[in-house]
């Protein structure tokens, strides 16, 4: 009996020990599982934080890239258009929305679908735009007409026709017509051993070339056509966005109404003039920044216009929404200055451009007209006619349509192939807000 009881007690103790062991093991498994889940969640949390930070830094990098592009006037999409920037293993999708005086930049960083967004609002007016004036004369679809004894010392490219006169005006260099016709022209080499003096057009008639007439059809020329592909249309050097930058440069300096300048000691710019700008005869003006006139610009006779020396190697600009009238005996100098009717040697290769966005194409009322005995400027009519009258000498002309009258000449300066137009000393950049958004 006692033996049986002892045996039962031993069995119960064994069962209790087994239960205890199983319980401890189960508790251990639960604890390990709990610790594993906590560890996994903590690792996942750390990874999320890391990826979120990477996403934020990518968004910041996108903002800084966009600001750099605006400040240095590098290419960037606008109104609004996005571009994507790779930042390590992350990406930033950047959107820039104009206008420059109220520029909005949004950058969305993405690191493995962890999204952070940063937004900036700023006023941005870059100090420079770079332009390539590669031809003595470049003309749009309106074409080029040259009168007797007129001359271009430099290459000519026209998206329209190039038409001369019976006395055969001269182009010294090469002439290209994407408009399909060169007529009544003399095309001359820059020097006897040069490879230029060529005409390039579908049809060349009644013209003399020291070089080669590259054409499909020709009649009345001094040489037979050498077959070649027709020249293609090329865009004018300044885009609408470039012109808007110039206008914003001017507006950054403030606004005033119709202005008349007379006498000496005058300075102006950067400035927007809401109305007309009139510079009276026998006056002098020092340009200290880009000038945008929403009306007409009238430069009367015997005036001197020069850039402030602070421009250095940069160039300056007058921009007119309407017409520009340049009277006789107007002297235009770069940053090296001048006096009376004479410019100092242009060591800095600095220039002043007169640009009109007028669409006027009437010969009696052109977008830009330049009278006798005026020289040393760049003329640019983006959508209308430029008319250059007798006894003028211009550095470069770009126009939708161009008429060069008798005894007028264009003398191309090689430094114009890489010209920076500045708003004056420094641009305007102010950041109004920079923050993370949802």
Same domain, 47 and 93: yes
Residue-wise DSSP of 283-331:
-EEEE-S-EEESS-EEE-SSEEEEE-GGGTT-BEEEEESS-EEE-TTEE
Looking at the structure, tell me whether residues 326 and 433 fall in a common domain: no
pTM of the model: 0.70
Mark whether 433 and 343 lie in a shared domain: no
Read off the pLDDT of residues 96-116 as tens digits, 9 standing for 90 and up.
887 777 888 999 999 999 999
Return the sign of the alpha-carbon dihedral for residues 281, 327, 237, 103.
Answer: positive
Is 218 among the domain residues?
no
Report pLDDT for 70.
73
Q: Is 220 left (phi over 0), alpha (psi -120 to 50) or beta?
A: left
Q: Is the link from the previous residue into 99 a cis peptide, with omega within 30 of 0? A: yes
Does 97 sit behind a cis peptide bond, omega within 30 degrees of 0 on the bond before it? Answer: no
User: Percent of the chain at pLDDT above 90?
Assistant: 60
pLDDT at 211: 97
> 203 lies in a domain?
no
**Predicted local distance difference test score (pLDDT) of residue 64:** 86
Q: How many other CB atoms are there within 10 angstroms of residue 359's CB atom?
A: 12
Q: Rounded CA gap, 407 and 373, in Å?
A: 10
361 domain-assigned:
yes
Say if 385 falls within a structural domain.
yes
Q: Does one domain contain both 241 and 369?
A: yes
How do residues 26-59 score in pLDDT, each as one tens digit?
777 777 766 767 666 666 667 778 888 899 889 9
Is the pLDDT assigned to residue 134 strictly greater than 80? yes
CA 259 to chain centre: 29
Average pLDDT over residues 295-310: 95
* Cβ(109)–Cβ(116) below 8 Å: yes
On whether residue 15 sits in a domain, the answer given is yes
With a CB cutoff of 8 Å and minimum separation 6, the contacts of 380 are 238, 353, 354, 355, 356, 368, 386, 397, 398, 399
- pLDDT at position 99 is 76
Q: Where is 39: in which H helix or E strand?
A: helix 2-71
For residue 228, name the pLDDT band (cuts at 50, 70, 90): very high
96 is in which domain, residue-wise? 2-125+429-437
Give whole-number Cα distances, 85 to 66, 90, 256, 287, in Å.
Answer: 10, 9, 41, 40
Whether residue 163 lies inside any domain: the answer is no
Question: In b/e form, how buried is each residue of 172-182, taking b as 16+ CB within 10 angstroms?
Answer: bbbbbbbbbbb
321 and 433 belong to one structural domain: no
- Give the list of residues 6+ apart from residue 86 with CB closer than 8 angstroms, or none: none
pLDDT exceeds cutoff 50 at 425: no
> Are 12 and 64 in a shared domain?
yes
Same domain, yes or no: 332 and 433? no
3-class SS at 224? Answer: coil
> What is the rounded distance in angstroms from the CA atom of residue 389 to the CA atom of residue 29?
99
In a domain, 173, yes or no: no
Q: Are residues 433 and 378 in the same domain?
A: no
Helix (H, G, I), strand (E, B) or coil at 213: strand
Rounded to an integer, what distance in angstroms lies between the CA atom of residue 416 and that of residue 277? 27
Residue 314 lies in a domain: yes
Instruction: Please give the Cα distance from 2 to 85 (Å, whole number).
Output: 89
Mean pLDDT of 209-216: 97
Confidence of residue 79 (pLDDT cuts 50, 70, 90): low
The answer to whether residues 433 and 346 belong to one domain is no
**pLDDT for the residue numbered 351:** 92
pLDDT confidence band for 417 (50 / 70 / 90): low
Q: How many domains does the chain have?
A: 2
Q: How many CB atoms lie within 10 A of CB 164?
A: 24
Same domain, 256 and 387: yes
pLDDT-based confidence at residue 7 (cuts at 50, 70, 90): low
Q: What pLDDT was estimated at residue 297?
A: 98
pLDDT at residue 378 tops 80:
yes
- Residue 242 and residue 384 in one domain: yes
pLDDT at 138: 95
* Residues 406 and 433 both lie in one domain: no
| DSSP three-state, residue 112 | coil
Count of alpha carbons within 13 angstroms of residue 367, beta-carbon side: 27
């Amino acid at each position: 009996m006692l033996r049986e009881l002892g045996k039962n007690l031993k069995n119960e103790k064994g069962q209790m020990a087994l239960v205890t062991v199983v319980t401890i093991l189960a508790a251990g498994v639960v604890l390990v599982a709990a610790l594993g889940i906590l560890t996994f969640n903590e690792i996942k949390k750390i990874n999320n934080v890391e990826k979120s930070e990477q996403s934020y830094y990518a968004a910041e990098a996108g903002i800084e890239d966009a600001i750099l592009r605006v400040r240095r006037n590098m290419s960037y999409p606008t109104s609004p258009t996005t571009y994507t920037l790779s930042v390590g293993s992350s990406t930033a999708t950047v959107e820039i929305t104009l206008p420059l005086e109220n520029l909005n930049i949004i950058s969305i960083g993405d690191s493995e679908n962890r999204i952070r967004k940063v937004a900036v609002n700023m006023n941005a007016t870059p100090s420079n735009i770079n332009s390539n004036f590669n031809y003595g004369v470049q003309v749009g679809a309106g074409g080029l007409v040259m009168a007797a004894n007129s001359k271009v010392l430099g290459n000519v490219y026209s998206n329209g026709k190039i038409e001369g006169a019976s006395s055969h005006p001269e182009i010294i260099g090469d002439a290209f017509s994407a408009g399909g016709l060169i007529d009544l022209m003399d095309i001359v080499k820059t020097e006897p051993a040069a490879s230029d003096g060529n005409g390039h057009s579908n049809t060349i008639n009644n013209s003399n070339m020291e070089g080669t007439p590259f054409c499909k059809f020709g009649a009345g020329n001094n040489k037979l056509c050498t077959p070649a592909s027709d020249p293609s249309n090329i865009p004018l050097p300044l885009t609408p966005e470039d012109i808007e930058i110039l206008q914003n440069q001017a507006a950054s300096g403030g606004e005033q109404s119709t202005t008349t300048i007379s006498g000496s000691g005058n300075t102006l710019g950067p400035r927007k003039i809401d109305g007309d700008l009139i510079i009276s005869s026998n006056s002098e003006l020092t340009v200290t920044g880009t000038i945008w006139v929403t009306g007409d610009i009238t430069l009367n006779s015997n005036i001197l216009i020069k850039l402030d020396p602070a421009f250095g190697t940069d160039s300056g600009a007058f921009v007119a929404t309407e017409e520009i009238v340049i009277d006789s005996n107007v002297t235009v100098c770069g940053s090296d200055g001048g006096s009376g009717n004479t410019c100092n040697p242009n060591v800095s290769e600095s220039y002043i451009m007169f640009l009109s966005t007028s669409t006027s194409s009437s010969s009696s009322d052109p977008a830009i007209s330049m009278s006798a005995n005026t020289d040393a400027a760049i003329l640019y009519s983006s959508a209308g006619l430029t008319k250059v009258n007798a006894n003028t000498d211009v550095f470069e002309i770009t126009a939708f349509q161009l008429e060069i009258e008798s005894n007028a000449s264009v003398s191309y300066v090689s430094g114009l192939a890489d010209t920076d137009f500045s708003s004056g000393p420094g641009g305007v950049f102010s950041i109004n807000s920079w923050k993370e958004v949802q």
